[in-house]
Structure 1
Amino acid sequence: MITRRNLLLAAATVPLLSSCDSTASTATKSGGTLRAAFIGGGATETLNLFRGGTTLDFVRARAMHGTIGDIDPSAPDGVRYGVVERIDSAPDFSTYTLKVRPGVKFTDGSTVTARDIAFSLNLLATSQAGGYAAFVSDFDLTAAKATDDLTLVLPTKRPIADGRQILCLGASFVVKDGAKEITKDTPTCGPFRLTAFEPGRGSTLVRNDQFYGRAPQLDGLELLSIADNAARLNAVRGGQADFAFDLDATLVRTIDGDPRLAVRQTSAPSLSALYFSMNIASPPFDNPKVREAFKLAVNRQTIVDTAVSGRGQIGNDLFGFGYADYATDIPQRAYDPDRARALLREAGADGFSVALTTGPEAGGLVEAATLVVEQLNQVGVKATLDQKPAGQLFADLNAYVRLPFASAYSTPTPPTLYYQLSYAGGAPFGLGWNRPDVDALMLKARTSASADERRAAAIQAQQVLWAEGNAIVPVLKPYLNVSVSNLVGVEKGLLESYPSFAEASFQ
């Protein structure tokens, strides 16, 4: 989520995007300022990319900072390179060598070097915020060596087969060696340069003509902080914005037939899991029978039909759907309220009280949480809803990880990497999950020399998670973004629907 939100924002990949916009012309024109509305966090919004806790903070960072790369399942190496032009691995995965793209510049005119990459990775490793260090925990940064200006040799602490993917996850921002704080004047190397920032209101940015690859076609970018879903949509409908991010399906239906607007809907693997974590450190969730009962009490089809208006699919209490190592052979969990009641009685937990904490951090999350509470009450649990204001669910990480029952959403990430970042080693985001046996299986899934052995270990680990885990994943939903119909190319700069707008333009 960093905060919970940032960890999830950062553990992500590039989506395949489809659209209901049927505009035939593909001609584009340079120029113009794009106004884009996102969920913000009011006064808590920040330029510090290792401290920010909202979607808007992360999107702003995407626009300002170059990245090592992004996960892209369609690319030959499974990643789309950015500031680096390639990453080579030793045959035994003992080292990864990063080759910096020649001629990449910071906005102060200085050249990006291997030392800047090493500094940026060390920022991740030493961050005290919410788990960023997990992104580089497999690498021995103390032994990293810049052999020349464009080459960084990065040893691993243990051989890992997915080093490229780890290095190209969403937190791989590149900042200048020695930067102590991110301000308006900090040199950056992303597609846009920040010119103004006001927490709770928004930011303005202008095109960075020195951006690697090619300069954006847009003259500028205005990022608007609008927490309320309906208000974001109304900003587009009323002409105050050109793009609104991650809207509720019920709202999106209201623009059907409007030729001025287009709906952009992602497809697998770029689906977000709306899920609900039972804190194993908070009895009676330490009892696996109670956790199973809660999973059986949820009517997933109702949640898909109602919370996301049918724009999604049933979840099976696992993450990473659509990726190669997702356990598709595990049977779909049934809706069985009678069995749920019986398990609660066996555990001595029938009639216990619990609050499900939620917030409108993702489209459909509050609606799904409301239905989960209703369905739990139907099996005898005295469940209530604790709804936080927009942008506040993950604002206090320490408070979030102590919640007994908490809403969350996942970003589209391969299952092994999602586990590594959120659950391995008793990570706080796992809300009490601490299973060294599953950690070992997931590690084998990331380190074995044999691809078949890696997949077998990943499937075995997911079988345990499905049976004994503490996450209820009832629905997988697409990202629903609404824009003016003449906006094109946004999807080419997306990070699992979190855009940089590097290739966006108006027709």
Structure 2
Amino acid sequence: MSHTRRDLLRSAGWSLGLAGVGALLGGCAPSTSATPRPVLQSTPSTPRRGGQFRAVLTGGGAAESLDPFGGGAPSDFIRNDVIYDSLFSLVDGRAAPALALTAEPASDGRSFVLRLREGVRWHDGSPFTAADVAYSLRYMTSPERPYPNELQLYVDTGGVKVVDDRTVRVPARQPVGDPALMLASFPGKIIKDGARSFSAADAVGTGPYQVEAFEAGRQTRLRRFDGHWGGAPNADTLVLSSLTDPQAKVNAVLTGQADYAVDIPFSIARAGTGSAELEIRQAGEGNRVGFGFILNATRPPFDDPRARRAVRLAVDRKALVDTVLLGYGEPGNDLFGAGSEYFSDREPPARDVDQARRLLREAGAEGAQVTIRSSEYEAGYNASTQLFAEQLREVGLNVRPDIVGMQNFFDVKALAEANGIAFSIGAIPLMVIYGRLAAYPSLALPAPRLRSAFAKAFGSTDAAQRKRSWTEVQDVMAEEGNCVVWGLADTLSVARKNVAGVETRGLAKYPYLGKAGLA
């Protein structure tokens, strides 16, 4: 019944396999020339019908899977998004109908009723029904799964009732005020009633593409499903290649082997494409990733809110944005979730070294030994940790960066012993962010006011009350929180100029390719 490491990685949008990419060209010195500005991903052109669309993704090697509840690499998330559908999608931070049209909560939030879309067909031609939804909810939350879906924490899947072919009643383990947003936030793909095998021959979904060929860690070929409820996709074929090295991903586009590569490092974007046929794109300000650190509020000195406040005042945010993000982003305001519904878009705190020193003295933390744990899960983690340590030394903290390997980074015992950790979270709903952080003592803020406000925000069926409660959650974090969000980073890609129809549904690092093609 616990959250998993995979859940945190997905919410962060961490790109497994981006270690050693030369995250900062020329070391940690800020760039001295103007940063080339990328174009917005949402180009106005419409893809033409037919042909193939070739994308290169960050792969997971032999662990990749067509099981929508199995693999955890970006290639798995992106591929399975077009084979299978969810009940609701996440668009611009809000729930959008997909296989379900509505999710109607009971007045006390203890249950909700799903009204399903009519006329949906599986790839094999059979009709989609409520029985498929009931089976999928039970299957994805089963403790037998390698990564049981987080819905197990909020939904009593054993009590799910099929009312009729288009209606499902779902009991909740705790009050859920906005079940549609919850289902979009903790996405679970819907599979056929009774499905247990997900080979290339057995992977049947309701999505816009169906499997033609699959080789884990190498390539997937998907063909258009003309019977998709949302309309037939544009490209006849999707060819999805998996690579782990970011330069190799970019090279595939540069050499004409692919049309599009998502999630490229800032240094490579800065170098440019050198081709009039290609362009660097960004997913938009509302889809940026919050970069920062989470302080361990269970250990000295950060168990004292004055010491946490001192750190937030000590950070030179612009220096970190210029140095680590190479200018591809803007300073953050210590709150994760920028771009999501209910986010408090307040000004970043100004740096105040003198006040930071005073607060540390008052907390008895001057000269305290501090360990900040990092790994290059996301390009720039290690460089930001080193610069962060230098900035904290200026105000009187004795900081040691603890740089570890990727496989050991999220060791729960090691995190509990560290004073802080490098972290990032994309534009996902606040219920996901604070729910997941609360599940880990070393990441959570142990504040009764925060817990109370979060419960009200999650459980209220009244939209106005939810907004007030989410504001209070973020007020607490701004006043005494343990998150130091120093920057909001652009999500970058490289594409041929005629690439169109790439959408963001959820995290921009996992783009939706169901409508993608060449204009």
Partner of 1:15: none
Q: TM-score, normalised by structure 1?
A: 0.84
The answer as to whether partners of 2:62 and 2:216 remain within 8 angstroms in 1 is yes
1:52-451 alignment runs, 5 A limit: 52-73=71-92, 78-90=94-106, 93-127=109-143, 133-135=149-151, 137-169=153-185, 171-184=187-200, 185-255=202-272, 258-281=275-298, 283-328=300-345, 332-344=348-360, 346-348=363-365, 350-361=367-378, 364-379=380-395, 380-384=397-401, 386=403, 388=405, 392=407, 398=412, 402=416, 404=418, 405-420=420-435, 422-424=436-438, 427-428=439-440, 431-451=443-463
Percent identity over the alignment is: 31
Question: Residue deviations 1:454-501, cap 9 Å, x none?
Answer: 322222222222233322211112211111111110127675442231
**Post-superposition shift, 1:79?**
2.3
**Post-superposition shift, 1:146?**
0.9
Q: 1:474 aligned to 2:486? A: yes
Deviates more, 1:101-110 or 1:236-245: 101-110
Distance 2:266 2:499 in 1: 21
Partner of 2:68: 49
The answer as to whether partners of 1:493 and 1:502 remain within 8 angstroms in 2 is no
**Post-superposition shift, 1:157?**
4.0
Distance 1:145 1:227 in 2: 43
Letter in 2 for 1:30: R
Tell me how large the CA RMSD over aligned residues is: 3.4
Distance 2:39 2:228 in 1: 31
Distance 1:93 1:252 in 2: 46
Distance 1:306 1:129 in 2: 41
Question: Residue deviations 1:122-177, cap 9 Å, x none?
Answer: 23433577985433533333332111122112233444321110112252211122
The answer as to whether partners of 1:264 and 1:481 remain within 8 angstroms in 2 is yes
Letter in 2 for 1:135: L
**Post-superposition shift, 1:25?**
8.5
Letter in 2 for 1:254: A
Runs of 4+ with >6 A deviation: 21-25, 128-131
Cα 1:429/1:201, change in 2 over 3 Å: farther
Distance 1:393 1:217 in 2: 42
Deviates more, 1:197-206 or 1:312-321: 197-206
Cα 1:327/1:34, change in 2 over 3 Å: same
| Aligned equivalent of 2:47, options 28, 32, 38 | 28
Letter in 2 for 1:112: F
Distance 1:158 1:150 in 2: 25
Distance 1:401 1:205 in 2: 41
Q: What is the aligned length?
A: 491
Aligned with 2:503: secondary structure?
helix
Deviates more, 1:227-236 or 1:276-285: 276-285
Deviates more, 1:161-170 or 1:192-201: 192-201
The answer as to whether partners of 1:11 and 1:171 remain within 8 angstroms in 2 is no
Distance 1:149 1:138 in 2: 24
Distance 1:61 1:172 in 2: 11
Distance 2:68 2:275 in 1: 37
Aligned with 1:499: secondary structure?
coil
Distance 2:373 2:146 in 1: 22
In structure 2, the gaps of 5 or more residues are: 14-36
